[in-house]
């Protein structure tokens, strides 16, 4: 088991790259261990195949310099927030013992996103209950509850609780997104497949624009936004001094 301090959990391979790859990479530059748990293989995606998306996710993991990436293999489109899937995610949370979880949105255009956001929130809470028993490779796991769960902003925009300056790694974020050539606009992916909402050049333009908009909120070039379900407490005002809004 490798402790992962910042763990991103999302429903489809490429969700993390779109929404919080910059935050993960910035934390890695600051010495944190970072990882991703994908809930599904994205097998219902219009373009590509689960096998190809696995290859793309591994390539993106290398670009982001992840310490771990794991796929739980839940049913794309049909998974439920039930005990069976909660226990699968609880095992992963207890395995990696993250301090912070970056999670799918609680509500979004794609119904999987909101359902996953609630599954992740519930599982993070339940993972801290001592009387829920789980095992990893036959060994009883210790209970573990992340200190915070922050929901990233996906297709629909919501006012963030805070934004994270990712200007220093934004080019790498775009590189990680473009690793999914089957999903997003690419001059190299030549398969005869239909165009989709996310495969147009305009979709990537919107990703850049969203990051610029979040950055403008705090006077930086690019940022990613997050929503917290609970109040965030601080013990120093030093963090506020670095931003000129």
- Residue-range domain boundaries for the chain: 6-231
| Confidence category of residue 243, pLDDT binned at 50, 70, 90 | low
Predicted pLDDT of residue 188:
81
CATH class for the region spanning 6-231: alpha beta
Predicted pLDDT of residue 160:
97
* Closest alpha carbon to 3 in 80, 73, 61, 68: 68
Produce one character per residue of 96-134: b if its CB has 16 or more CB atoms within 10 Å, e if not. bbbebbbbbbbebebebbbbbbebbbbbbebbeeeeeeb
Give the tens place of pLDDT for each residue, 172-185.
Answer: 999 999 999 999 99
How many other CB atoms are found less than 10 A from the CB of residue 184? Answer: 24
* Closest alpha carbon to 225 in 180, 174, 159, 181: 159
| Confidence category of residue 113, pLDDT binned at 50, 70, 90 | very high
Query: Does 55 score more than 80 pLDDT?
Result: yes
Predicted pLDDT of residue 73:
98
Query: Does 244 score more than 60 pLDDT?
Result: no
Q: What is the mean pLDDT of residues 91-111?
A: 97
Query: Does 75 score more than 70 pLDDT?
Result: yes
Predicted pLDDT of residue 178:
96
Predicted pLDDT of residue 190:
74
């Amino acid at each position: 088991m490798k402790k992962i301090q910042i763990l991103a959990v999302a429903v489809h391979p490429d969700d993390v790259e779109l929404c919080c790859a910059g935050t993960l990479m910035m934390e890695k530059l600051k010495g944190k261990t970072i990882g991703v748990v994908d809930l599904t293989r994205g097998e219902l995606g219009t373009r590509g195949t689960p096998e190809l998306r696995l290859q793309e996710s591994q390539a993106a993991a290398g670009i982001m310099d992840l310490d771990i990436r794991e796929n739980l293999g839940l049913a794309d489109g049909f998974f439920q927030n039930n005990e069976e899937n909660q226990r699968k995610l609880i095992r992963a949370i207890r395995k990696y013992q993250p301090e912070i979880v970056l999670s799918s949105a609680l509500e979004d255009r794609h119904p999987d996103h909101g359902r996953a956001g609630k599954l992740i929130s519930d599982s993070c809470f339940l993972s801290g209950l001592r009387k829920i028993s789980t095992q990893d490779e036959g060994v009883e796991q210790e209970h573990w509850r992340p200190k915070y769960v922050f929901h990233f902003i996906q297709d629909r925009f919501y006012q963030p609780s805070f934004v994270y300056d990712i200007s220093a790694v934004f080019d790498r974020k775009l590189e990680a997104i473009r690793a999914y050539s089957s999903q997003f606009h690419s001059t190299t992916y030549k398969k005869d497949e239909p165009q989709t909402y996310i495969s147009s050049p305009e979709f990537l333009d919107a990703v850049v624009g969203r990051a610029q908009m979040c950055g403008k909120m705090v006077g930086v070039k690019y940022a990613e936004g997050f929503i917290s379900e609970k109040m965030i407490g601080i013990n120093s005002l030093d963090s506020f001094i670095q931003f000129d809004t």
